[in-house]
């Protein structure tokens, strides 16, 4: 198998988009670039920096494009993603989940000891502060740390203001750690369907966060970084003028869920769908549907169903049909797509969908123009 | 990163099971071996051969163990799995899904032209028969083919007896193809909760299939192979004395769903749970739950929730909490597991869970004893 998978020989061949070995994860290259540019312009206009989340794309090429458009760096959800990004020369890597077990701390300290252009991590517990402090001091290089605020989601992060202030003081007292700021990411707000409710809930969180920041600064504590926001609140979180940077991720691709949420209350969605899965019709013996070659191992199943984008009769619907197959349900009296027809679907939840694929197939019009590895796929 | 991932240095270290870098996919090695042995003994007793499905494990090591216990070979769902298995020296590879697009046919013919110890594929449409025949004749090596019967599921396969008989004749008339038999896999029966209903539905399908086989044999057509059955009907399908071999897969691991289904109507489940995900507690700031480091990118989400197996207070429950996190919900007044505690969960749906991981961590008692790659992960 060629290094870039079974479609490598098709790069640059006119019409190759319709001839891909399937299932294949596609990026509309121009739409991707427009999304990256649009978010960069938005951040500039809102007076806030960008450190986009690489857990969405896990790609050095996309991270480099984001940095080239002015991002300070990128966020990572796992130490494994951070290892890939730093080895690939990406600057300003911030790890958004606490790293608490001995093996994760060892990897974090090793990464911090190696050459890099910026690395930080969140903490949300005094035991973790002590463990990181010990390890960083033993390694002889200070570790940059942000304190994680639960922000109403309670997945990680401190539970309230008193705990946040105490943890900031603990970090500042740790000789091996350098306090860099606060992370406050409300993951539970990102997929709320209506813009008005997202805004109201984002304001509540911003008020609480603002109170915490005033208290810290009143105590003479500098808080250089305040990071948060996802694609669902990319324009709502900056309204409070509290965040110094945004850690938006999904805007590069958009998916069924985010397209619905971001379309609410607007004339046009602010970002384009750029990510698709191409799948071929492999069985045509049933009445009312045909079977395709993309199933549970190609699409995330935690969100809505994939949506049919092109290649099938209008109003066709996609349903899961086992590990390796999809069911393309045809509207009454629609012609049945012939065996081998390529269908393209919008992905249901982009992040875990990307994690199922080894390669992005970049398309422009009808042509496969490049293949990029999903560099950090599966990295923990 | 070492070739076998972050836990490579822990192989053979006593007590290493509790010190793994997480999240990690675990196999209880002894339980796996007992499952492989138990299915081999069952098949022998039932007078039927085994060609277990490798789409479950995607592992050369496990395929080799199955063959060593008497399996004729293994089944694959994709050409990519078959490429890995043949390159790894596994004999008797049967591909259970139709391969219809030009790139897939090209890969199939290339695989058939290379040295192998048995390769066959299903067909369910005359167009596909013609395309495979053309390609096999051009390559100068006959391709072994089974005709796929829809078997009540209708995912792939012919729709009825007339179509099946016609397709068998088409295959036999194709100079490039060698007719080997019939595949009849009722995927829709495997997860039915009650054994009585699974048996009744399996009998219905067996009666239809028996009629088809009598008609073919009455026409003087030899049908050397009749393959089907999954873990849910592993002992029910052989009752009809029609199948020559079983393509069971999940029995090697068992998962939440299959344990429930197979326990019905029995004193003890016939196979053991051998597959787990180890995950660490990474945040302990909430009341009533703690957060672990295994989420949507570690577990399949199309089935039931993962079940907590060990490491947590009794009656703890696991719920998804985003891409990289799980919520371990504690019973009232249970002690909160400390930061860094390792929890092990039974996987919800084993096949797509395995496909999210790069390595199996083999454990015996408290010790990591080996690491095996998930060789065909993501291969299409």
If pLDDT is split at 50, 70 and 90, which confidence band does A148 have?
Answer: very high
Any B CB within 8 A of A107 CB: yes
- Chain B hits for A77, CB-CB cut-off 8 Å, are 323-324
Phi, psi at A71, each rounded to 5°: -65, 145
**pLDDT (tens digit, 9 = 90+) per residue, A257-306?**
899 899 988 888 899 999 999 999 999 999 999 999 999 999 999 988 99
Two tokens, residue A110: 């090793």
Lowest mean pLDDT among A3-7, A194-198, B228-232, B256-260: B256-260
Phi, psi at B129, each rounded to 5°: -60, -45
Checking A199-204 for CB contacts under 8 A at 24+ apart, the result is A199/A236, A199/A239, A201/A152, A202/A233, A202/A236, A202/A237, A202/A239, A202/A240, A203/A236, A203/A239, A203/A240, A204/A152
The pLDDT assigned to B266 comes to 85
Confirm whether pTM is higher than 0.90: yes
Q: Do A101 and B291 touch (CB under 8 A)?
A: no
- Chain A hits for B147, CB-CB cut-off 8 Å, are none
Average pLDDT, integer, range A199-210? 95
Q: What is the spatial distance between Cα A10 and Cα A359, in angstroms, rounded to a whole number? A: 14
The pLDDT assigned to B184 comes to 97
Two tokens, residue B291: 């957060």
The pLDDT assigned to A165 comes to 97
| Alpha-carbon dihedral angle through residues B151, B241, B231, B72, given to the nearest 10 degrees | -100
B90-126 residues labelled b (16+ CB within 10 A) or e (exposed): bbbbbbbbbbbbebbbbbbbebbeeebeebbbbbbbb
pLDDT tens over chain B, length 380 residues = 899 999 999 999 999 999 999 999 999 999 999 999 999 999 999 999 999 999 999 999 999 999 999 999 999 999 999 999 999 999 999 999 999 999 999 999 999 999 999 999 999 999 999 999 999 999 999 999 999 999 988 999 999 999 999 999 999 999 999 999 999 999 999 989 999 999 999 999 999 999 999 999 999 999 999 999 999 999 999 999 999 999 999 999 999 989 989 998 888 889 999 999 999 999 999 999 999 999 999 999 998 899 999 999 999 999 999 999 999 999 999 999 999 999 999 998 999 999 999 999 999 999 999 999 999 999 99
If pLDDT is split at 50, 70 and 90, which confidence band does A234 have?
Answer: very high
Any A CB within 8 A of B230 CB: no
Helices (H), B1-125: 29-46, 60-68, 79-87, 102-113
Q: Is residue B283 within 8 Å of residue A157, measured between CB atoms?
A: yes
Its ipTM equals 0.96
Count helices and strands (H / E) in chain B.
Answer: 9, 17
Q: Do A19 and B102 touch (CB under 8 A)?
A: yes
HSE, side-chain direction, 13 A CA sphere, residue B347: 33
Q: Do A101 and B280 touch (CB under 8 A)?
A: yes
| Mean pLDDT across chain A | 96
Q: What is the CA radius of gyration of chain A?
A: 22
The pLDDT assigned to B265 comes to 84
Which chain B residue has the Cα nearest residue A279?
B101
Burial of B222 (0-12, 13-18, 19+ CB in 10 A): exposed
**pLDDT (tens digit, 9 = 90+) per residue, A64-123?**
999 999 999 999 999 999 999 999 999 999 999 999 999 999 999 999 999 999 999 999
Which chain A residue has the Cα nearest residue B106?
A21
Report in angstroms the alpha-carbon separations of B349 from B269, B301, B354. 17, 8, 9
Two tokens, residue A146: 């942000």
DSSP characters over A179-229: EEEEEE--GGGTT-S-HHHHHHHHHHHHHHHHHHHHHHHHTT----EEEE-
Any A CB within 8 A of B197 CB: no
The pLDDT assigned to A303 comes to 87
Name A1's Cβ contacts closer than 8 Å, sequence gap at least 6: B83
Q: What is the spatial distance between Cα A166 and Cα A170, in angstroms, rounded to a whole number? A: 6
Two tokens, residue A226: 């305040």
Two tokens, residue A292: 């395709």
The pLDDT assigned to B32 comes to 98
Two tokens, residue A316: 């066709």
The pLDDT assigned to A152 comes to 87
The pLDDT assigned to B1 comes to 86
Q: How many CB pairs under 8 A join A and B?
A: 183
Name B96's Cβ contacts closer than 8 Å, sequence gap at least 6: B53, B55, B75, B76, B77, B122, B148, B183, B185, B247
Q: What is the spatial distance between Cα A279 and Cα A295, in angstroms, rounded to a whole number? A: 9
If pLDDT is split at 50, 70 and 90, which confidence band does A1 have?
Answer: confident
Phi, psi at A293, each rounded to 5°: -100, 25
DSSP bridge pairs for A276: A26, A346
The pLDDT assigned to A56 comes to 98
**pLDDT (tens digit, 9 = 90+) per residue, A212-230?**
999 999 999 999 999 999 9
B368 upstream amide cis, omega within 30 of 0: no
Any A CB within 8 A of B291 CB: yes
Distance from CA of B348 to the nearest CA of A (A): 13
3-state secondary structure of B72: coil
The pLDDT assigned to B303 comes to 87
Q: Determine which helix (DSSP H) or strand (DSSP E) holds A170, and give its type and residue range.
A: helix A161-173
3-state secondary structure of A146: strand
Which chain B residue has the Cα nearest residue A349?
B323
**pLDDT (tens digit, 9 = 90+) per residue, A165-182?**
999 999 999 999 999 999
- Chain B hits for A319, CB-CB cut-off 8 Å, are none
Q: What is the spatial distance between Cα B181 and Cα B146, in angstroms, rounded to a whole number? A: 5
Q: Is residue B86 within 8 Å of residue B93, measured between CB atoms?
A: yes
pLDDT tops 90 at residue A315: yes
Q: Which of B7, B20, B286 faces A154 most closely, judged by CB atoms?
A: B286
């Amino acid at each position: 198998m060629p290094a870039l998978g079974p479609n490598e020989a098709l790069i640059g061949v006119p019409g190759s988009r319709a001839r891909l070995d399937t299932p294949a994860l596609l990026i509309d290259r121009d739409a991707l670039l427009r999304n990256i540019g649009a978010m960069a312009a938005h951040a500039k206009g809102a007076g806030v920096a960008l450190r986009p989340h690489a857990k969405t794309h896990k790609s050095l090429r996309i991270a480099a494009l984001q940095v080239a458009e002015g991002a300070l760096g990128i966020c990572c959800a796992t130490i494994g993603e951070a290892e890939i990004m730093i080895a690939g020369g990406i600057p300003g890597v911030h790890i958004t989940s606490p790293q608490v077990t001995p093996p994760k701390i060892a990897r974090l300290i090793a990464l911090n000891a190696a050459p890099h252009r910026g690395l930080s991590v969140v903490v949300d517990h005094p035991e973790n502060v002590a463990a990181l402090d010990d390890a960083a001091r033993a390694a002889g290089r200070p570790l940059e740390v942000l304190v994680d605020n639960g922000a109403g989601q309670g997945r990680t992060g401190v539970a309230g203001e008193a705990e946040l202030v105490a943890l900031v003081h603990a970090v500042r007292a740790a000789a091996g750690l350098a306090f860099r700021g606060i992370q406050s990411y409300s993951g539970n707000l990102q997929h709320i369907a209506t813009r008005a409710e997202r805004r109201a809930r984002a304001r509540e969180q911003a008020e609480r966060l603002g109170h915490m920041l005033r208290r810290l600064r009143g105590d003479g504590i500098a808080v250089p970084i305040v990071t948060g926001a996802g694609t669902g609140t990319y324009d709502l979180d900056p309204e409070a003028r509290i965040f110094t940077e945004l850690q938006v991720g999904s805007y590069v691709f958009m998916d069924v869920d985010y397209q619905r949420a971001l379309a609410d209350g607007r004339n046009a969605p602010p970002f384009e769908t750029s990510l698709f899965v191409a799948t071929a019709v492999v069985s045509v013996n049933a009445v009312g549907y045909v079977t395709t070659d993309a199933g549970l191992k190609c699409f995330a199943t935690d969100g809505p169903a994939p949506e049919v984008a092109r290649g099938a009769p209008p109003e066709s619907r996609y349903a899961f049909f086992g590990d390796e197959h999809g069911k393309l349900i045809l509207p009454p009296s629609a012609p049945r797509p012939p065996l081998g027809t390529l269908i393209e679907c919008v992905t249901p939840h982009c992040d875990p969908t990307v994690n199922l694929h080894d390669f992005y197939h970049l398309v422009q019009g009808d042509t496969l123009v490049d293949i990029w590895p999903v560099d950090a796929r599966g990295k923990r």
